Amino acid sequence: MSAICRPPLLAALLGCVALLLLGSAAQADMSLDRSILIFDAQSTPRQDVEITNSGSENLYLETEILRVSQPGTEAETRERVLDPDAIDLLVTPARLIVPPGARRLLRVVNLGDPAKVDHIYRINVRPVVGSVEAETTAVKVIIAYQLLVILRPSDPQPELIWDRQGRNITFTNNGNTNVLLFNGVQCPPDGGDCVELNAAQRLYAGNSWTLELPYDGSVEFTTGVGQRNVRQRFN
């Protein structure tokens, strides 16, 4: 989808921007039924993501695989995969059309043998639109989605340790698979209302995370490993 804007005045420019926003609004009507895919020894080697178009125009979509190195660190990189045969992940179809009011499946297949540590990928799912031609400034809004894909080892062993220094707590994952910390709660040692911690973190293998707590007492988090969630208290 494209538009040509040649506004001589500011009012015309604003009208052109509005036209672009309205013209690309159909892209915002795309939704996916999931955002994270986890492959392990208990799961099937293929999983489907359902894409829904609740708009009034066709959605023309393309996918892009990114290989993630050193995930969760300052040195993390996401490299676009140009040769699909070089990785252990398949996404099909690479391009698809979703008619108005319809649903289509995007299939993700794990082709490789389990490694010794998690393999992490990202998959971009984005609309394909035309270019914007303008003699002045123009705006085009494109709503894209990104999937997180985790290929777990055959013997996943998380090893979550923690260290308290005053009101700071540092979590470190010394295992070979990621751990998700969420739904944190801390209560004051002398009673009173507990505080929900608006913080969640996925700790990949080798990651550390430091959090400043409101109180000196223990803190509780739900820890998620694969499909299993456990409530834990950390002193």
CATH code 2.60.40.10 region(s) in the chain = 8-151
Report the CATH number of the 8-151 domain: 2.60.40.10
Contact partners, residue 113, CB within 8 Å, separation at least 6: 88
Q: Which of 120, 111, 38 minimizes the C-alpha distance to 78?
A: 120
Per residue in 113-172, pLDDT (tens digit) is 888 999 999 999 999 976 555 555 556 566 889 999 999 999 999 999 999 999 999 999
pLDDT at 41: 83
List, by residue range, all CATH 2.60.40.3970 domains of the chain: 160-234
CA angle 84, 118, 38 (to 5 degrees): 80
Reply yes or no on domain 160-234 having CATH 2.60.40.3970: yes
